[in-house]
Amino acid sequence: MNILHTLEIEQMKASIPDFGIGDSVEVHYLIKEGDKERVQLFSGTVISLQGSGVRRSATVRRLVAGEGVERTFPLHSPRVADIQVKERGIIRRAKLYYLRDREGKATRLNPNLGKLQYPRSGKGRAQTTGK
């Protein structure tokens, strides 16, 4: 096995929930104010997932006072304390960038009330391809 690959696996978090594009999530993010640290919530809709392994990141979008705010979170960062899935969405696209042009009720996605048939965030897939 590749040495870099084994180092990446050691640095990965084990507690990332299974979520995907279109899900409403709450990201608990550690921020530093002066000499104090506190947890700040960022809740919104996941519009894209990028990368794999340690470099995996998710872009979350929410509306604040009528303005769209997007933030990209590296999932395996020590600054990301927790991710909670609030609602799963039914989508048929890999990226939801079209939500940037929409306002109000047009930004809503259909909720998925049933059970998932497959893992969405790559957690259920094999970590090694093995050759």
HEC string of the chain equals CCHHHHHHHHHCCCCCCCCCCCCEEEEEEEEEECCEEEEEEEEEEEEEEECCHHHCEEEEEEEECCEEEEEEEECCCCCEEEEEEEECEECCCCCCHHHHHCCHHHHCCEECCCCCCCCCCCCCCCCCCCC
**Low-confidence winner among 27-31, 45-49, 111-115, 119-123 (lowest mean pLDDT):** 119-123
Does the pLDDT value for residue 116 go beyond 60? yes
At 16-62, the pLDDT tens digits run 888 889 899 999 999 999 999 999 999 999 999 998 888 899 999 99
Looking at residue 43, its pLDDT comes to: 94
Under the banding of pLDDT at 50, 70 and 90, the label for residue 70 is very high
The CATH classification number of 3-111 equals: 2.30.30.790
What was the pLDDT predicted at 131? 44
Which sequence spans correspond to the domains of the chain?
Answer: 3-111
